[in-house]
Amino acid sequence: MELSDKTARQIWDDVKANPNRARFGFGKKAVLVNIDIQKAYTDTEQFATAYETDPNQINYVNDLARKFRALDWPVVWTRVAYVESGEDAGAWGTRTNTPDSLQNIKYGSTRYEFDDRCEVLDSDITYTKRMPSPFFETPLQSLLVWHGVDTVVLTGGSTSGCIRAGAVDSLSRGYRTIVPEQCVADKHESYHFANLTDLMLKYADVVDVQEVITYLDTQKG
């Protein structure tokens, strides 16, 4: 194992600055999957489970969503919720049982609500998920087949959790996977930058959000 005195952020900066890094690239048609941009994870004044990395994250996500809709490409929003007993969280919900615990994000609760800044339209698709990946036990895969997409753009959080799980599942299903850096967030910079590095080296293209915008602006709906 290679040892280093560098921080996770410094290692990420080194990887990002490498002009020879291989890319998956964009394909012909994409889906935007916005993962768990809900108050449990965004309302830092109200919930201990919430976090913020880039203060403009949700603005960027909304900008991307508008461009996807203009192309008539699918926009998906996921969020987490569990039944009153929490039993559908399975083993994942057994470590703790406090008001902040995962399995205590209940349907209809404030923690379940999308962040008020999110522009979620009736024409968008929303899924409730119970595990990290947006693909796990949701109709997402069938939706992507129907739309004939070959590229998945992931936003939301957390970088080290659901974004990473979504990227692994997306690549495993044969999709080009794109993570706009300014559009993902995590609780601590160490987790965030370490996982951006891992995503870039293995599972996805981590790019500046402007690169995604430029790609969308060159497409025809």
Catalytic positions are 162
53 DSSP assignment: S
DSSP letter string over 64-83?
HHHHHHHTT--EEEEEE-B-
* C-alpha distances out from residue 69 to 32, 49, 133, 140, 186, Å: 10, 31, 23, 17, 27
CA 121 to CA 215: how far, in whole Å? Answer: 23
Question: What are the residues facing 178 on neighbouring strands?
Answer: 153, 205
Provide the CA 124 distance to its chain's centre, in angstroms.
Answer: 16
In which element (H, E) is residue 205 found? strand 205-207
In which element (H, E) is residue 215 found? helix 209-217
Q: Are the C-beta atoms of 111 and 105 separated by less than 8 Å?
A: yes
Q: Is 1 exposed, middle or buried (0-12, 13-18, 19+ CB in 10 A)?
A: exposed
Cα angle 167-118-69, degrees, rounded to a multiple of 5: 70
**Both ends of the chain: CA-CA distance in Å?**
47
